[in-house]
Amino acid sequence: MTKREPETADELLNAVGPAFGKLRRSSLLEVEDPISQKDLSRTLVLNIVLEAEQDDEAREVTVGGVGEYLGTDPSVASRMVSDCISAGYLIRAASQQDGRRTVLHLSPEGRELMTRFRRHQRSAFEQITADWTEGERLEFARLMLRYVDAQNALRAR
C-alpha cells in the first residue's frame, strides 16, 4: 500500500504533528548498539540533566525542574528520576547554591548511556536518510536544530 503524499500546504502542515509523534518510536530501529525501550525512556530525564550541565550557565536540575520541563505531574517526575537513580544513571547531591535543595547529576554510567544513545541516534538518522543526498541530510539537520532552538526560546518566555 502506497502512502499518498500531502498535496496542499495545509495537508503538509497538518502532517507535521503526527510525524513528530512517530520520530521517537523510530529511534528504536535496529542499528548499531541498540538502546532498550526502558533506557530510551530514561534518556528523557538524562538528557535534561546533561543539557543543563553543558549550558554556559551550568543550571542545576531538581526533580521539580525535570517535571516542569517534561510537563508531567511532580509524582511522575519523581518516579522517573528515582528509576534513573536506581539504574545507576543519576546521582542526587546537595545544591551548591542552596544547601537545602537536592540536585541531580549524571553518574559515569549515565554519561556512558548518553554517549551510546547519541551514537545510536546518529546511526538511525544515517540509516533513515541513506537515500538522501548529503545536501538534503545537512539541510534537514540544520532546519531541525533551528526548530528545536525556536521551541526552546518559546519555552524560556
Reported as a single tens digit per residue, the pLDDT across 104-139 is: 999 999 999 999 989 888 888 898 899 999 999 999
Please report which residue ranges of 9-131 form alpha helices under DSSP H: 9-26, 37-54, 63-70, 74-86, 108-128
Q: What integer pLDDT is reported at residue 128 of this predicted model?
A: 87
Residue-wise pLDDT for 1-35, tens only, equals 557 777 799 888 888 888 877 776 555 566 666 77
Could you tell me the three cell numbers for 141? Answer: 539537520
Assign 129 to helix, strand or coil.
coil
More confident residue, 29 or 86: 86
Q: What integer pLDDT is reported at residue 17 of this predicted model?
A: 81
Q: What integer pLDDT is reported at residue 84 of this predicted model?
A: 97
Could you tell me the three cell numbers for 35? Answer: 538502546
Q: What integer pLDDT is reported at residue 49 of this predicted model?
A: 95
CB 82 within 8 A of CB 95: no
Question: Span 40-50, mean pLDDT?
Answer: 92
Q: What integer pLDDT is reported at residue 30 of this predicted model?
A: 64
| Pairwise CA distance, residues 128 & 61, whole Å | 33
**Roughly how many angstroms between the first and final C-alpha of the chain, as a whole number?**
44
Q: How confident is residue 153, by pLDDT bands cut at 50, 70 and 90?
A: confident
Q: What integer pLDDT is reported at residue 18 of this predicted model?
A: 80
Residue-wise pLDDT for 60-81, tens only, equals 999 999 999 899 999 999 999 9
Q: What integer pLDDT is reported at residue 28 of this predicted model?
A: 56
CA-based nearest residue to 82, from 91, 73, 72, 93: 91
